[in-house]
Structure 1
Amino acid sequence: MSSVITESNVYSRDYIQVIRDRIKPIVENVIKPNAEIIDKEGRFPKENLLALAKEGWNSVTLPEKWGGLGLGYVGLSVAAEEIGKADASTALVYAMHVAASQVIHLFGNDDQKERWLLPIREGAIGTFSISEKATGGHVWYNLSQAEKEGENYIINAEKSFTTSGGQSDFYVLQTRTAGSTDPSAHSFFIVDGHHDGITAKPWNALGVRGNHSGPLKFENVKVSHRDLIDAKGGDISNDGANPGLTGLTAVWLGVAQGALDAAVAYVKKTVHKDFNHSLADYQVIRQKLAEVQIQISGLRSWQYDLARQQDELVKERKPLSLLGSEITQLKVQATELADFAARTAMDVAGGYGYINGVFERIYRDARGGIPMAPSNNLAREHIGKGLVGLPLELWELGK
């Protein structure tokens, strides 16, 4: 990659294409062939993640000092998109892992980075554990609260929709701050995923069946003071937005592209023998495909523009929350585009789209992004309040 990395073209299309070309062999040779069995069996995509770790992709945003590729949010966007084209389950696990790792990188100390980031190159996987059933999509609002025990902490919490639940080697866990009566006071802990007090419930869902995003219970889990992340909760949680949104939006962009790719391949090869016309010969089908392509092209430009801006903010040591609202807007558009692309692919494939196979799998997977935090309904409310100058009032009822 060094041949294209210069001060003038580090974010050029050529640079992005080099990253794509570098990850594609893993996607084509490992991830894509496993997609169907992961969906059918609800299997956690461990084999895929180990293949990515071996080549450094699980450390894509991290600097070389901590075992990473140093490709930042642009590199994450490329990788998550390419993985998302092949398998949404693997891509979601990947995006949340990278986001959790990046939080340790940005907010953790050297001791934490050495203990938790270096093992990633050997296959260690992390994730976030934030949402709670009692507060639903209001993921910034926790009822669980850490308890102080000497220098250490005791965690008792019931979390919902924790990606890679029961599979992660570490969790970046959010609770209310020990001893505080302020519901906006959060603490983030790095919790060893192999602790006996952690119990994961089975994940059985319509789509993304391999991401194991089920409930997770923490019972009397002791966490060392060494694993309290020294950062304000708002800096990490971005005022209620999912801290992994940049990777997740790239995943849904990839899902949309994967749906379009499958649809294009199908209509080109499928021929009606009575008129000797392929499905691609019908104008109505071409126009449906064109509409998906137009929307993907626009979204991809936005995705990479925001990723570049995030990389600049990291370099300048400025808070990523400066882009929080716009990233939330991107999340809404990316998830709804994935859903639209999947529906279009089902439509042009006709009856064959309805039977078990790539079209119905992508159709089920694509729906998962819309309720994912922040849900699109909630995101629109936050965006709308910002437009008219109304406060979000995230904490008022709890004070």
Structure 2
Amino acid sequence: MTNISKDRPVSSQSAIEKMRAMIKPIIEKKIKPNAEMIDKTGQFPRENLLYLASEGWNSVTIPKEWGGLDFGYVGLSVAAEEIGKVDASTGLVYAMHVGAVQAIHIFGSQSQKERWLPKVREGYLGTLSISEKATGGHVWYNRSQAKNDGTEYIINAQKSFTTSGGQADFYIVQTRTAGSRDPKEHSSFIVDGHKDGIIAKPWKALGVRGNHSGPLTFENVRVSYQDLLPADGLDVLNGTGVAIGLNAVWLGVAQGALDAAVAHTTRTVHRDFNKSLADYGVIRQKLAEVKIRITGLRAWQLDLARRLDELRALNESSLPLASEIKEQKVQATELADFAARVAMDVAGGFGYVEGIFERIYRDARGGIPMAPSNNVAREQIGKELLSLPLELWEEGK
């Protein structure tokens, strides 16, 4: 694999373009050819993730001492966008995996890093298991609570949407802290995905059919003390950078929709007037609007990634960027939806039949309800703007 020169920072434009050039052949060779099959069958994209791991991209953010590429959040943003352009399912699995890896990298003990991070380079797949049916999109408010049982913790939890559910080799599972009566105290555990008592329900969905984000139940799952992350669970949730990766996927979905629309527009000719679709001004303007929004969002994406990397380099919390990343989530998911609708509109009847346009259209809908849903996010953003309390917990419950 070609190395990124350290003469210039990873966040430089030349480094970003080099990273794109590195991952694109991988995507063209393995991920893009599998996209239609994954959508039709709902097959989990493990083959794609194993191939990415073999090329180092599953370890994109972690240092080379653990077998990583050490490209940081900028590298994650580049990779997740490029994957999202061709297959949202693989993109979401990938972004959640990197978020789980980062949880161990940032918050894990030396022993936890030694036991788990080298396995990622070998193909181990991780994810976060946070949201619960009882509290819906309020992912910070867990009702489940770990139980202290001597040298182990026992986890009983009903998780509502866990990407890679039933497929991951390890889960970062968040519950209320064992023994605590404070609803604001949370713990995060590294749970071996092959343990007995982890039950995944089938995932059948409108779109992103390969990401297996169905309900996941933990029934009396025992976790050793050594797999409790030594940090508050909410810090883990806010500090892994999973959202920045997911936002990059939706940016990629928007770009993939635009690419498909441009390709269709330039090759389609109406023989009655001998005009290409590109000759119609209304179509050009629709596509231009998508392009303008993508350009702005990509600049924001890379700026946030650079700032996250700067905070990591200083060993400082990423919490100051949490609100802005949430704002970007709203824009990224709604841009993906907008771009998919424009692409289907431009394609006319061909967009409506089974194929790339209707697949992207279905996939693009997935980001808007993804936690925090855009409705919840807007409410939080508005309250923060007006200096109103967020009221995240009901005390004493």
Amino acid at match of 2:369: P
SS at match of 1:137: coil
The CA distance in 2 between the partners of 1:397 and 1:352, in whole Å, is: 54
Q: Distance in 2 between matches of 1:231 and 1:225?
A: 13
Q: Which runs of 5+ in 2 are unaligned?
A: none
Q: Name 2:394's counterpart in structure 1.
A: 396
1:357 aligns with 355
1:5 offset after TM fit, Å? 3.4
Gaps of 5+ in 1: none
The residue number in structure 2 matching 1:250 is 248
Q: What is the Cα deviation at residue 82 of structure 1?
A: 0.2
CA deviation profile, 1:307-353 (whole Å, cap 9, x unmatched): 00000000101101110000000000000000000000000000000
Partner residue of 1:378 out of 376, 379, 395: 376
- Aligned position for 2:123: 123
Between the aligned partners of 2:356 and 2:395, the Cα distance in structure 1 is 45
Q: Which amino acid aligns with 1:295?
A: R
Return the offset for 1:81.
0.1
The one-letter amino acid paired with 2:230 is D
Partner of 1:25: 25
Cross-structure match for 2:385: 387
- Deviation string, structure 1 residues 242-290 (Cα, Å, up to 9, x no partner): 9510000000000000000000000000000111111011110000000
1:187-206 equivalences under 5 Å are 187-206=187-206
Specify the alignment match of 1:302 in structure 2.
300
SS in 1 for 2:70: coil
Tell me: CA distance 1:380–1:207, structure 2 relative to 1, closer, same or farther (3 Å): same
Question: Counterparts of 1:197 and 1:266 in 2: how far apart (Å)?
Answer: 49
Output aligned runs, 1:1-80, within 5 Å: 2=3, 4-7=5-8, 9-80=9-80
| Counterpart position of 2:290 | 292
Quote the residue 2:272 is aligned against. Answer: 274
Q: Secondary structure at the match of 1:217?
A: strand
Residues 277 and 338 (structure 1), Cα distance of their counterparts in 2 relative to 1, 3 Å cut: same
Q: 2:48 and 2:270 mapped to 1: Cα distance?
A: 38
Question: Does residue 98 in structure 1 map to residue 130 in structure 2?
Answer: no
Percentage identity across paired residues of the two chains: 70
* Alpha-carbon offset, residue 236 of structure 1: 1.6
Q: Identify the residue that residue 220 of structure 1 maps to in structure 2.
A: 220
Give the corresponding residue for 2:326.
Answer: 328
1:256–1:296 Cα contact (<8 Å) kept: yes
SS in 2 for 1:127: strand
Say whether 1:156 aligns with 2:159: no
Q: Using the TM superposition, give the Cα deviation of residue 237 of structure 1 relative to its aligned residue in structure 2, in angstroms.
A: 2.1
Aligned pair in 2 of structure 1 residues 144, 92: CA closer, same or farther (>3 Å)?
same
2-side partners of 1:260 and 1:101: how far apart? 31
Counterpart of 1:119 in 2: which secondary structure? helix
Report the residue type matching 2:35 in the other structure. Answer: A
Change (3 A) 1:329 1:3: closer
User: Cα gap change, 1:2/1:195 in structure 2, threshold over 3 Å: closer, same or farther?
Assistant: closer
**TM-score normalised to the size of structure 1?**
0.97
Q: 2 CA distance for matches of 1:364 and 1:182?
A: 40
Q: In the alignment, what sits opposite 1:236?
A: 236
Equivalenced residue count is: 396
Contact 2:102 2:240 in 1 (8 A): no
Q: Deviations over 1:111-169 (max 9, x none)?
A: 11111111111111000000000100010111110000112100111101100000000
Q: Hey, what does 1:260 align to over in structure 2? A: 258
Shift of 1:395: 1.3
Letter paired with 1:278:
S
Task: Label 1:3 to 1:361 Cα distance change in 2 as closer, same or farther (>3 A).
Answer: closer
1:257 match: secondary structure: helix
Q: CA deviation at 1:6?
A: 2.1
After superposition, the CA RMSD in angstroms is 1.2
CA 1:3–1:91 in 2, change beyond 3 Å: closer, same or farther?
closer
- Matched ranges for 1:107-122 at <5 A: 107-122=107-122
TM-aligned CA distance change 1:33 to 1:308, over 3 Å: same
Query: How far apart are the structure 1 equivalents of 2:387 and 2:340?
Result: 36
Q: 8 Å contact 1:259–1:341 — kept in the other structure?
A: yes
User: Could you say which residue in structure 1 is the equivalent of 2:314?
Assistant: 316
What is the CA–CA distance in structure 2 between the aligned matches of 1:242 and 1:362, rounded to whole Å? 28
The offset of 1:13, in angstroms, is 1.5
Q: The residue matched to 1:229 in structure 2 has which SS?
A: coil
CA contact (8 A) 2:127 2:170 kept: yes
Looking at structure 2, the residues matched to 397 and 281 of structure 1 have their Cα atoms a distance apart, in angstroms, of 62
Distance 2:198 2:232 in 1: 25
The corresponding residue for 1:82 is 82
* Structure 2: distance between partners of 1:125 and 1:237: 18
- What's the counterpart of residue 366 of structure 1? 364
Hey, what's the Cα distance between the residues in 2 that align with 1:147 and 1:112?
21
